[in-house]
Amino acid sequence: MPSQPTQQIPGVYHRKIGDIVVTTISDGYLDGNLEVMRNVDVEKARRILQDAFRPARRTSVNTFLIHSKGRIAIVDTGSGNYLQPTAGHVQRNLAAAGIDPKSIDTVLLTHMHPDHSAGLTDMSNGQRLFPNAELVMHENEQAYWFDDGEMSKVDERARQLYFGAGREQVEPYRERTRLFRDGEVFPGVTAVPSLGHTPGHTAYLIASDNDQLMIWGDTVHVPEVQTAFPEAGMAFDTDLAAAAASRKRMFDRVSADGVLIAGMHLHFPAFSRLARRGDAYALYPEAWVHNLA
């Protein structure tokens, strides 16, 4: 008798943006509770998820490859071995996509939380997992997470999981790190600072021909709830009010302009549209396509 499957096929999905190809590489997912949400009634949030047939806070973790002008960048690197065993699958899924990490010449970080930067380095030996890549991020990120004064203000868990893990992962790239404030950071890719979730949290706008894609980073963590209640934030927002303001600006921008979006915590493969619905918004995942031509 043939054995039954026990694992999913690796998570890889391609999307053309003009002459650029963007590939979602799934890192997996993380499960958690709703008590980490802020500025929203937890029972209302729970009902929204139940009505959407999502009874738990299951958070997708996505990264994105950008194939542009003969170069390859990756936006974020996943969670490595720092978090739950349901995540940390970027390297496996890169192999499934036929991508050698040595061929990636740029790592664009949205920010330095462990589900985004903890896949930079092999924690067992300190070796870079993207050995030929330049590390690129907003100047506020490095300044904040390497600030001992800021680290002294947080509890032990945050010191280890955020400050400690971030420093450990980024340090091997110190001699090949490029910091920015805004502007073009990779061919066809413009940084869109969206500060608040962290001091240097950044979205990336990809544009080619008449097509655009906004990779909006951690604009949302619980899509169904935060599109219904844009003021809803997370306990791990560095500045809750600034994060909410950035989220609302981003929502207004992409919904008004009809820009295709992708996010690190939108459900795989993440490509979606956002539409305004009164004081709230609705998220519409894009239909899958099989051919890129």
Tens digit of each residue's pLDDT (9 = 90 or more) over 183-202: 999 999 999 999 999 999 99
Ramachandran angles phi, psi of 255, nearest 5°: -75, -40
Type of residue found at 65? L
DSSP 9: P
Strands lying side by side in the sheet with 12-17:
12-17, 20-32, 57-68, 71-75, 106-108, 134-138, 177-180
In percent, how much of the chain has pLDDT > 90?
89
Residue 3 is predicted with a pLDDT of 84
**Half-sphere exposure of residue 234, counting CA atoms within 13 Å on the CB side?**
20
Residues 210-237: pLDDT tens digits? 999 999 999 999 999 999 999 999 999 9
Question: Using one digit for the tens of pLDDT, what is the confidence trace for 156-182?
Answer: 999 998 999 999 999 999 999 999 999
Q: What is the pLDDT of residues 95-125, one digit of tens each?
A: 999 999 999 999 999 999 999 999 999 988 9
pLDDT at 274 (0 to 100): 98
* Contacts of residue 292, Cβ cutoff 8 Å, sequence gap at least 6: 14, 15, 16, 21
In this prediction, residue 2 carries a pLDDT of 79
Q: In terms of Cα–Cα distance, which of 29, 36, 41, 32 is closest to 237? A: 36
> Using CB atoms within 10 A of its CB, is residue 46 exposed (0-12), middle (13-18) or buried (19+)?
middle
The 10s digit of each residue's pLDDT in 255-280 is: 999 999 999 999 999 999 999 999 99
Q: What is the DSSP string of 105-165?
A: -EEE-S--SHHHHTTSB-TTT--BSSTTPEEEEEHHHHHHHT-HHHHTTS-HHHIIIIIIH
How many Å apart are CA 235 and CA 228, to the nearest integer? 18
What's the pTM value of the predicted model, to 2 decimals? 0.96
Residue with tokens 């462990």: 114
The pLDDT score that the predictor gives to residue 248 is: 97
